[in-house]
């Protein structure tokens, strides 16, 4: 099912399990996102737009940086995700974070923002440049655009010597691609910013690595989320064996290898919009 002929179905969906996965993932990526936002100059008193806000983790992080004198507006088209995000904002006792339900191609005009941000969102869009361009119009001259998008190539290379990890990673990568997502958008952000009329951004790649149990858990969780898509595309999930024991088998393979494993590394890119 598609919402329109041109907009592919969002592959990760919006189940309760996916919401929990996003929150779990956000805890691991928060330090990377915070470093990027601080480097980009996001701070107290600013008004920040968060696109593709999901269940609100980036908006909550930005709210901490801008403080009570600032404001954060999240854009998200999925009503269930917004309900969860709004409940988390209420639980956190925040009054300066709100969400607008709409597609990113139809963000309503509003008072200008000091910054527009997003994490793991442009990779899902059929035309990330046009969204960057329209979002940048909502940012004041001299304001900031800061995004984090994945770069799977180094992950695939690092995991190549580990057959089970490599099979899991390749299956996820292929499913993303067939779902219309670009799992290697990260490094292409430089050109995307320029095509959107922005200066070439400052960029960094950060790759969390190690041997801890969290890495296997991330792969298992995303495979569970993607399972309906994997089946829809007739991709071979059988070679991974019983998913119920996948985390354990990944950990064993990692433990007895010289290599480390990793999360998909995000590329952070930020630029300041030309002053008029
Ligand atoms: C991978 S989640 C990322 C959520 C959040 N940025 C984070 O890092 O935790 C992407 C979110 O973007 C939303 N999304 C995808 N395409 C969208 C579109 N065209 N318009 C609005 N929201 C969209 C999805 O519903 C989903 O909640």
With H, G, I as helix, E, B as strand and everything else as coil, classify residue 262: strand
Q: Does domain 16-272 have CATH number 2.40.420.20?
A: no
Q: Ligand 1 center to residue 254 CA distance, Å?
A: 31
pLDDT tens sequence across 141-197:
999 999 999 999 999 999 999 999 999 999 999 999 999 999 999 999 999 999 999
pLDDT tens sequence across 201-256:
999 999 999 998 899 999 999 999 999 999 999 999 999 999 999 999 999 999 98
Q: Ligand 1 center to residue 75 CA distance, Å?
A: 8
- 8 A C-beta contact, residue 34 and residue 61: yes
Checking DSSP bridges between strand 202-205 and strand 209-210, what pairing results, if any?
Answer: unpaired
- 8 A C-beta contact, residue 51 and residue 117: yes
Q: Which residues does 210 contact at the CB level (< 8 Å), separation at least 6?
A: 260, 261, 262
Confidence band for 8, pLDDT divided at 50, 70 and 90: low
Mean pLDDT for the stretch of residues 46-57: 98
Question: Closest residue (by CA) to atom 4 of ligand 1?
Answer: 54
Mean pLDDT of the chain: 95
Atom of ligand 1 nearest to the CA of 102: 21
Task: Give yes or no for residue 3 having a pLDDT over 50.
Answer: no
Note the pTM of the prediction, 2 decimals: 0.95
């Amino acid at each position: 099912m598609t919402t329109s002929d041109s907009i592919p179905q969002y592959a990760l969906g919006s189940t309760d399990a996916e919401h929990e996965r996003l929150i779990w993932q956000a805890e691991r990526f928060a330090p990377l996102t915070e470093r990027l936002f601080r480097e980009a100059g996001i701070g107290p008193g600013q008004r920040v737009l968060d696109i593709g806000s999901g269940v609100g983790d980036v908006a909550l992080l930005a709210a901490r940086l801008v403080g009570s004198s600032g404001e954060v507006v999240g854009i998200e088209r999925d009503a269930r995700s917004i309900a969860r995000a709004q409940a988390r904002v209420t639980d956190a006792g925040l009054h300066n974070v709100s969400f607008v339900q709409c597609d990113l191609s139809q963000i309503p005009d509003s008072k200008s923002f000091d910054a527009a941000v997003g994490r793991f969102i442009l990779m899902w869009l059929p035309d990330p440049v046009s969204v960057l361009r329209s979002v940048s119009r909502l940012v004041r001259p001299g304001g900031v655009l800061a995004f984090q998008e994945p770069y799977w190539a180094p992950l695939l290379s690092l995991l190549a010597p580990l057959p089970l990890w490599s099979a899991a990673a390749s299956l996820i990568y292929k499913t993303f691609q067939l779902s219309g997502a670009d799992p290697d958008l990260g490094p292409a952000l430089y050109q995307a910013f320029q095509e959107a009329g922005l200066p070439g951004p400052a960029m960094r790649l950060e790759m969390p690595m190690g041997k801890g149990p969290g890495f296997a858990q991330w792969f298992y969780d995303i495979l569970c989320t993607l399972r309906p898509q994997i089946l829809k595309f007739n991709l071979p999930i059988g070679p991974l064996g019983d998913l119920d024991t996948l985390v354990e088998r990944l950990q064993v393979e990692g433990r007895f290898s010289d290599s480390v494993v990793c999360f998909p590394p995000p590329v952070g890119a930020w630029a300041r919009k030309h002053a008029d």
